[in-house]
Chain A
Amino acid sequence: MTATRTLRVALAGKPNAGKSSLFNLLTGLNQKIGNFPGITVDKRTGSCQLDSNTVAQVMDLPGIYSLYPRTVDEKIVTDILADRKGTYYPDCVVLVADATNLKNCMLLLTQLIDLQIPTVLALNMMDLAARSGQSIDVKALASTLDLPVVMINGRTGQGVAELKKLLTTNFKHSSKTIYKAGEELESLIKDIQQKFNLTTPYQAYQFLQQTDNLSFLTPADKAYITSRAKDANFFQHKYQGAETVMRYGSIQDLLNKVTLKLSDPEWKKFSYRIDKILTHKVWGYLIFFAVLFLIFQAIFAWAQIPMDFIDSTFARLSNVLDDYFPDGPFFDLITQGIIPGIGGIVIFIPQIAILFACISILEESGYMARVVFLMDKLMRKVGLNGKSVVPLISGMACAIPAIMATRTIESWKDRLITIFVTPFMSCSARLPVFTILVTLIIPDVKLFGFFNYQGLVLMGLYLLGFFAALISAFVLKVIIKTTERSYLIMEMPTYRKPKWSNVGYTIIEKTKSFVFEAGKVILAISIVLWVLASYGPGDAMQNAEELIQREASEAKLTTEEFEARVAAYKLEHSYAGIIGKTLEPAIQPLGYDWKIGIALVTSFAAREVFVSTIATIYSLGGTEDEQTIKGRLRSEINPDTGGPRYTPAVGLSLLVFYTFAMQCMSTLAVVKRETKGWKWPLIQLAYMTALAYVSALIIYQSLA
Chain B
Amino acid sequence: MLPGETAVISGFRDDMLSVKLLEMGLLPGTVVRFNFTAPLGDPICISVSGFDLSLRVDEASTIIILN
Contacts and interface: CB of A to CB of B under 8 A. Distances in A.
Given A248-B25, A488-B59, A491-B24, A101 B38 contact: no
B49 interface: yes
Interface of B: 15-25, 27-28, 35-36, 38-43, 45, 49-56, 59
A240 B38 contact: no
B45 A241 contact: no
Given A373-B45, A487-B17, A489-B59, A285 B53 contact: no
A237 B39 contact: no
A237 B27 contact: no
Given A237-B15, A240-B19, A275 B55 contact: no
B42 A376 contact: yes
Contact of B41 (A237, A377, A489, A492): A377
Interface string A473-515: 0000000000001011111111000000000000000000000
Nearest to B14: A485
A386 B52 contact: no
A241 B25 contact: no
Contact of B21 (A373, A488, A489): A489
Interface string A84-121: 00000000000000001101100100000000000000
Contacts of A103: 25, 49-51
Contact of B52 (A284, A372, A492): A492
Contacts of A372: 54
Contact of A104 (B21, B25, B38): B25
A488 B43 CA distance: 8
Contacts of B42: 376-377
A272 interface: yes
20 contacts: A65-B23, A70-B20, A101-B50, A101-B51, A103-B25, A237-B19, A245-B22, A245-B27, A245-B28, A265-B50, A281-B40, A377-B41, A377-B42, A378-B40, A386-B43, A488-B43, A488-B56, A490-B53, A491-B52, A492-B45
B19 A68 contact: yes
Given A279-B39, A377-B40, 6 more contacts: A107-B23, A248-B22, A279-B45, A280-B39, A285-B39, A492-B52
A74 to B, nearest CB: 12
A369 interface: yes
B23 A100 contact: no
Given A68-B19, A104-B24, A238-B15, A376 B56 contact: yes
Nearest to A108: B23
Given A65-B24, A104-B24, A245-B22, A490 B40 contact: no
Nearest to A376: B43
A616 interface: no
Closest 7 CB pairs of A and B: A281-B39, A492-B52, A244-B22, A377-B40, A377-B42, A489-B55, A237-B15
Given A487-B59, A490-B54, A68 B39 contact: no
A217 to B, nearest CB: 22
Interface in A211-233: none
A284 B39 contact: yes
Interface of A: 65-66, 68, 70, 100-101, 103-104, 107, 237-238, 240-241, 244-245, 248, 263, 265, 268, 272, 275-276, 279-281, 284-285, 369, 372-374, 376-378, 380, 386, 485, 487-494
A129 to B, nearest CB: 10
A369 B45 CA distance: 11
B35 to A, nearest CB: 7
Given A65-B23, A241-B15, A376 B38 contact: yes
Of listed B16, B52, B56, residue having the most chain A CB within 10 A: B52
B24 A489 contact: yes
Contacts of B39: 279-281, 284-285, 374
Given A107-B23, A241-B22, A244-B23, A275 B36 contact: yes
Nearest to A492: B52
A64 to B, nearest CB: 9
A253 B17 CA distance: 25
A573 B4 CA distance: 74
Contacts of B20: 70, 487, 489
Nearest to B20: A489
Nearest to B38: A373
Contacts of A369: 54
A104 B39 CA distance: 28
Nearest to A70: B20
Contact of A66 (B18, B23, B35, B59): B23
A174 B27 CA distance: 26
A66 B27 CA distance: 15
A245 B27 CA distance: 7
Given A107-B23, A248-B22, A272 B40 contact: no
A487 B41 CA distance: 16
A378 B38 CA distance: 11
Of listed A65, A68, A244, A272, residue having the most chain B CB within 10 A: A244
Contact of B54 (A66, A101, A492): A492
A427 B4 CA distance: 43
Contacts of B51: 101, 103-104, 491
A98 to B, nearest CB: 9
Contacts of A376: 38, 42-43, 56
B19 A241 contact: yes
B59 to A, nearest CB: 6
Contact of A485 (B16, B22, B36): B16
B46 to A, nearest CB: 9
Contacts of B59: 487-489
A101 B36 CA distance: 21
Of listed A101, A275, A492, A494, residue having the most chain B CB within 10 A: A492
A491 B51 CA distance: 8
B35 A272 contact: yes
B15 A488 contact: no
B36 to A, nearest CB: 7
A568 B50 CA distance: 70
A386 B38 CA distance: 12
Contacts of A275: 35-36, 45
